[in-house]
C-alpha cells in the first residue's frame, strides 16, 4: 500500500527484454534506500514494482505482461522521469489516500492552463473508469494522490499547486501525454459489493497482452 505522496523523482536507466516480459532499472535520486530490502515494493508512476536487485543508486524490477498491457509503461524509455514512493510502514503518515499501486487504466492529458501560481489540467479517463471519479473525490495520477476539482463525462480537472509541480513529474505534462490512473479503492470495492450474487457470474472477458503487443512496442526482437 502507498499514500500517493511522492518521495522522489527517479529516472528510467534501462529497459531489458527478459523471458517475454521486461526488466527495468530505476535510478532513484533522493529516495532513501537504506531501509529497502530485496522483495520490497516501490511505486513507479503509481505502478507497484518489486525490487529484485539493489545496485546502490536504484533498483531493478520485473515488469509483467499484465503491467505492460494496463499501464503507460510502454511509453517509457531510458531517460524518462518517474514518480517514486516507497511502500507504507505501520508508522507512516497517510498524507494522501490509500493507494494500492494497481493501475486501473491509462488516461490522457487533454489540456493544461496556468491558474495563478498553480496549473490546471484536464484529464480524459477511459470510459469504463468514469463512474469511479467524483468531484472532490480522490484519484491517483502517475502515483500522485490528487483531488478531483470537476468532472464532465469521462474528463476531470485537477489544480496542481507549485509544491506538487516541483516534487513530481507533473510539470512535464503536456496535452497528449499518457498517464497511469488508479481510482479510489473504496469505489471499486463498493461497486463489487453492490453486485451481490451476480459477482460470482462470469463476465466472459477475454484478451490481454500478446506476443504481438510486445513486439509492436519494441520489447521483442
What is the residue range of 137's domain? 105-197
Residues 6 or more apart whose CB falls under 8 angstroms from that of 158 comprise: 120, 121, 123, 141, 146, 147, 148, 149
Instruction: Indicate whether 99 belongs to any domain.
Output: no
Looking at the fold, whether 38 and 69 belong to one and the same domain comes out as: yes
Residues 6+ apart with CB under 8 A from 78: 12, 13, 14, 15
pLDDT level of residue 152 (50, 70, 90 thresholds): very high
Q: Is the domain of 115 the same as that of 176?
A: yes
Q: What b-and-e string marks burial along 63-86, b requiring 16 or more CB atoms within 10 Å of the CB?
A: bebebbbbbbbbebeeebbbbbbb
Which pLDDT score is estimated for 170?
A: 97
The number of beta carbons lying within 10 Å of the beta carbon of residue 182 is 30
Per residue in 159-204, pLDDT tens? 999 999 999 999 999 999 999 999 988 888 888 887 778 778 876 6
pLDDT interval class at 19 (50, 70, 90): confident
118 and 176 inside one domain: yes
User: 204-220, pLDDT tens digit by residue?
Assistant: 654 555 667 667 767 66
Quick one: 112 and 188 in the same domain? Answer: yes
Task: Using the structure block, give the residue that is written with the C-alpha cell 507504507.
Answer: 88
Write the CATH number for 22: 2.40.30.20
Amino acid at each position: 500500500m502507498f499514500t500517493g505522496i511522492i518521495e522522489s523523482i527517479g529516472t528510467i536507466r534501462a529497459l531489458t527484454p527478459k523471458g517475454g516480459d521486461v526488466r527495468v532499472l530505476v535510478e532513484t535520486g533522493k529516495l532513501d534506500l537504506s531501509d529497502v530490502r530485496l522483495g520490497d515494493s516501490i511505486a513507479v508512476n503509481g505502478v507497484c514494482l518489486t525490487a529484485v536487485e539493489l545496485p546502490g543508486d536504484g533498483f531493478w524490477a520485473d515488469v509483467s505482461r499484465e503491467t505492460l498491457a494496463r499501464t503507460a509503461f510502454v511509453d517509457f524509455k531510458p531517460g524518462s522521469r518517474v514518480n517514486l514512493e516507497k511502500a507504507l510502514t505501520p508508522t507512516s503518515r497517510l498524507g494522501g489516500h490509500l493507494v494500492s499501486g494497481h493501475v486501473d487504466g491509462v488516461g490522457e492529458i487533454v489540456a493544461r492552463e496556468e491558474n495563478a501560481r498553480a496549473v490546471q489540467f484536464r484529464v480524459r479517463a477511459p470510459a469504463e473508469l468514469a463512474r469511479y471519479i467524483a468531484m472532490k473525490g480522490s484519484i491517483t495520477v502517475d502515483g500522485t494522490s490528487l483531488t478531483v476539482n470537476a468532472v464532465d463525462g469521462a474528463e476531470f480537472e485537477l489544480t496542481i499547486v507549485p509544491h506538487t509541480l516541483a516534487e513530481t513529474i507533473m510539470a512535464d505534462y503536456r496535452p497528449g501525454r499518457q498517464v497511469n490512473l488508479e481510482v479510489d479503492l473504496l469505489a471499486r470495492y463498493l461497486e463489487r459489493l453492490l453486485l451481490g450474487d451476480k459477482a460470482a457470474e462470469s463476465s466472459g472477458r477475454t484478451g490481454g497482452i500478446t506476443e504481438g503487443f510486445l513486439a509492436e512496442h519494441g520489447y521483442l526482437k
